[in-house]
Amino acid sequence: MKMNLMMLGAALFVVTSFAFTSLNQAKPWPVPDAQKNKVNPLKGNAASLAEGKTLYNQHCKSCHGTKGKGDGPKAAQLDTECGDFTTSALQSQTDGALFYKTVEGRKDMPSFKKKIPDADEIWSIINYMRTLK
């Protein structure tokens, strides 16, 4: 009887762990091809990077962290993991894909359509994100 309870407990633990892991894994974030292929009109020059850093610190740092690792002070309060901008998976995304995700948002990631209505400012943030490797 004791062995049956131990086996039941172990099985319950495995099932619960699997379910929790499945629910918390990052879901694919599809980006329409037209958006993915958008080209950043701004060069990553000093002015764009400075503007991008200022805007990043104002709008992104609280969740994504100072160095873009997804470890900002608000990150622990979110239901989904913050993106880590230092990973090759994120850095390999096109500027257009990052622009789309920033503008549209999803779940805990807010839409910045209204918060940052100037597209060039979002492009500057993306230029700055590229420095967080």
Query: pLDDT tens for residues 43-65?
Result: 999 999 999 999 999 999 999 99
- CA dist 123 and 116 (Å) reads 11
Q: In the structure, what pLDDT confidence band is assigned to residue 18 with cuts at 50, 70 and 90?
A: very low
Phi, psi values for residue 109, rounded to 5°: -80, 115
What integer best gives the mean pLDDT of the chain? 86
Domain ranges of the chain: 33-129
**pTM metric for this prediction:** 0.80
CATH code for the part of the protein at 33-129: 1.10.760.10
Indicate whether 12 pLDDT > 80: no
